[in-house]
Chains A and B, each alone.
Chain A
Amino acid sequence: MSPIILNVILHATLQTLEMVFASTAFSVLVGLPLAVFMIVTGPNGLYRLPIIGRLVGIIVDALRAIPFIILLVVLIPVTRFIAGTSLGTEAAIVPLSIAGIPYFARLAEVSLREVDMGLVDAVKAMGGTRLTIIRSVLIPEALPSLIGSLTVTLITMVSASAMAGAIGAGGLGDLAIRYGYQRFNTTVMMDVVIVLIIMVFIIQMVGNSLTRWLRH
């Protein structure tokens, strides 16, 4: 493999990693509070706000219903507003995060719902405030499962970021399409696929061992 190609692949890999990790970070930062909100406002929740809770749920589901490729296009003006441009790796982080937030929120909601209600009762009965319950029961108890959700989100972002290549986001997906599809250079395409596979393997492995370690 020529050093030039190697360099191109390395550069694309870094771009993909940037997109994946940045958009997942935003997804968790916004998605986790959303998930907690949906849980605590739900039936038998700590706060009884069923109407807003339901509303948030509907928005989350609506966002999840839109295919990512369409979201990319629809969000161009928003992207331009936030990132200053609608092209490039940084710009792609905007639609990726917007797709990732509701995705992670629903996964995290499931993780949080699995927490034994008896534990919530126990801490409530000790005189814990609702904030204490969220901080010392809901999130820590769901953590191993939340790490699982995080792993799934990272991997989903890997494949979504490849699609973002279509709007000039760069990264491995972009490379595979330009070399492999448009120039019929199958070697590069295969290399890119191998890099993607390795990336997904590593993410899954790290995620699994972290979950196992957290489960005591």
Chain B
Amino acid sequence: MKAPILESRHVTHRFGGQAALKNISFSIEKGEVVGVIGRSGAGKSTLLRFLCALETPEEGQILLDGIDLTKQPENRLIEIRRHIGLVFQHFNLLTSRTVASNIALPLQIAGRPRREQQERVNELLELVGLAGFGEKYPSQLSGGQKQRVGIARALAANPTLLLCDEATSALDPESTTSILNLLTDINRKLGLTIIIITHEMDVVRRFARRILALDHGKLIEDGTLIDFLSDGGQKKTLQPLLADIRPKLPNDVAQQMCETDSPGAAIIMRVVHSGEGVMPPFFGALAQRFTLDAALLQGGVTTISGQPVGDMIVSLRGERRDEAVEFVKELVKSMEVLGYVPHHP
């Protein structure tokens, strides 16, 4: 196994007796794109401030490239921070400086020669699609453009790690898409390790290959979104976060649905499938093989971190319904029975 670039070992922190993070352990490899998700107050920003060496946790260790950040003196930390790029929700651009001079600031801090600063700034403006914007002031830019400047600034000193705290939460959907595309591009082109913190499952769905879920200061989940979707609703704490991006049961069906089966009832199931043949041709196949009444109530195929995933709610009714359920179970990644709609002749 490769050595991890970033590692959190048993990190615990309290604010005035109130635990904000409890025993957080994970490790991230070079080039990974990781989403950290959790509800408001879950401890995401607190964790991020430890990861970028702005603050030190009370207990536990943060290792960046094998160096324990919690044990370094302030002057070493100043040096270490120069290798971590940080992108903020509210951009945090200096209003007193032009775009170019904002992007140049990390280079200036690192004491690079002026010529090099200029070249790098032009390169970055090009990369984030803002060529020609160098002499503007942040107040003259849109939110999406400001965030591009924020990303360019974070990349200026060639960081080994890019951390984004709610980088898209202040943006409209269109800018969000373009910023996420930009970050994906950067990951692909530069092989940069990116951690993005968000409370929006949709951002993670489109961007991150791996997800860390925080809840009340605890790391409750570490895996891929596909894993979460297909665990059949076992992880109750994740459901509210997942609800945003999952197909919802139509209201009329929800009203008629009951928990117990009855003769002639339709079975309502949530079906998740990924990989080969995302949308197994089961509607046609089912109807033919089992002479069933099969319907897609909600959902379809979505893209999760570049991979097509089918997430849908289906209804099956007919004589050989149970055989069909068995057949579907074999075919798909996961299946969860939501309930039954009784038959009304």
> Across the interface, do B54 and A124 meet the contact criterion of CB distance under 8 Å?
yes
Interface residues of A in 80-124 (CB under 8 A from B): 116, 118-119, 121-124
Pairwise interchain contact A125-B78, C-beta atoms closer than 8 A? no
> Residues of B contacting A136 with CB < 8 Å?
94, 105
Query: A137 interface residue, CB < 8 Å from B?
Result: yes
Q: Give the chain A neighbours of B213 by CB distance below 8 A.
A: none
B10 within 8 A of A: no
From 116 to 147 in chain A, residues with beta carbon under 8 angstroms from any chain B beta carbon are 116, 118-119, 121-129, 132, 136-137, 140-141, 143
The reply on B79 being an interface residue by CB < 8 A is yes
Contact count band on A? 20 to 34
CB nearest neighbor in A for B150: A122
Q: Report B160 CB to chain A, min CB distance, Å.
A: 13
Q: Across the interface, name the chain B residue whose C-beta is closest to A137.
A: B94
State whether A119 touches B109 (Cβ < 8 A). Answer: no
Nearest residue in B to A120 (C-beta to C-beta)?
B92
The answer, yes or no, to whether A183 is at the interface (CB within 8 Å) is no
CB-contact partner of B109 in A116, A132, A214, A215, under 8 A: A132
Cα A167 to Cα B147 with chains together (Å): 59
**B206 CB within 8 Å of chain A:** no
Is A126's CB under 8 angstroms from B157's CB? Answer: yes
Best-buried of A116, A122, A123, A128 by chain B (most CB within 10 Å): A122
Among B80, B109, B153, chain A packs the most CB atoms within 10 A around the CB of B109
Residues of chain A within 8 A of B78, CB atoms compared: 127-129
B81 at the interface (CB under 8 A from A): yes
User: What's the Cα separation between A126 and B109 when bound, in Å?
Assistant: 8
Collect the chain B residues with CB atoms within 8 Å of residue A141's CB.
Answer: 94-96
- Contacts A118-B90, A136-B105, A216-B139: A125 and B54 contacting too (C-beta < 8 A)? yes
Q: Are A125 and B52 in contact (CB under 8 A)?
A: yes
B196 to chain A, nearest CB (A): 16
Query: In the complex, A119→B93 CA distance in Å?
Result: 7
Q: A216-B137, A216-B139 are in contact. Are A126 and B92 (CB under 8 A)?
A: no
* Contact, CB under 8 Å: B82 / A127: yes
Partner of B86, one of A119, A122, A132, A137: A122
Evaluate whether A126 and B105 lie within 8 angstroms (CB atoms) in the complex, with A118-B90, A121-B54 already known.
yes
Chain B residues whose C-beta falls within 8 Å of the C-beta of A132 in the assembled complex: 109
- Contact between chains at A125 and B96 (CB < 8 Å): no
**Given the complex, which residues of A lie within 8 Å of B54, measured CB to CB?**
121, 124-125
For residue B157, which residues in chain A have a CB less than 8 angstroms away from its CB? 126-127
Is B84 interfacial (CB 8 A cutoff)? yes
In the complex, are the beta carbons of A122 and B109 less than 8 A apart? no
Contact surface of B with A, Cβ cutoff 8 Å: 52, 54, 78-82, 84, 86, 88, 90, 92-97, 105-106, 109-110, 137, 139-140, 153, 157
